[in-house]
Amino acid sequence: MAAMNDSLSNCTLAGSGRPEGFERVQSALAQKAHPHAPLWLDVAARTSQEAAEALQVAVGQIAKSVVFRRRSDEAAVLVITSGDQRVDEKKLALHTGPLGRADADYVKSRTGFSIGGVSPLGFAPTEGLPPPLLYVDQELFRFELIWAAAGHPNGVFKMTPDELVALTGAPVIDVVQA
């Protein structure tokens, strides 16, 4: 596992004038007194691999967001899992009921974020829609430090897996493919 160098040349501390989703996450982190401000990457990191390369960390340290559509009521289900893992829909369905795929429009309307920048907090679903149901996959606990999207493909923030659970209030479950 590569360690993150806090003086990376390809990212900067958060500032004003960033996209709305990024600023929403920045505000949510501040409201929860999270000790690490989000960073703005000089390159977009829409995939776990791109984020890991930009941050110089292992792909597994990227806390990727995977959104599903619950069939029974159309509720959004958001799983935060390790970037080197794939979600097992059958395992997840034991917690949620049957699931379907979520397209880009669905993700945007249910989270307020575009694919590639879905954060585990700071949601802004379309008016009248509830925020997504959240789950944290236990595979993230293999790492001391993890990175999640901060509302935009160029935005990220760091935390420990325990901090992720505290920030989101999400249950920790096993939902990755064996």
Provide block-wise average pLDDT over 10 residues at a time, the chain (178 residues): 42 66 96 96 94 97 98 97 97 97 97 96 96 97 98 97 98 95
The token duo for 5 is 């160098």
62 DSSP β-pair partners: 147
Q: What integer pLDDT is reported at residue 136 of this predicted model? A: 98
- How many degrees, rounded to 5, is the angle at CA 149 between CA 59 and CA 92? 75
* 9 closest CA partner among 36, 42, 38, 58: 42
Neighbour count for residue 37 (Cβ, 10 Å)? 15
pLDDT score recorded for residue 7: 36
Domains of the chain by residue range: 11-173
The CATH code for residues 11-173 is 3.90.960.10
Residue 1's pLDDT is 37
42 and 8 Cβ atoms separated by less than 8 Å: no
pLDDT score at 16: 56
4-14 burial string, b = 16+ CB within 10 Å, else e? eeeeeeebeeb
Structure confidence at residue 17 (pLDDT):
78
State the DSSP code for 170: P
Q: Check residue 167 and give its pLDDT.
A: 97
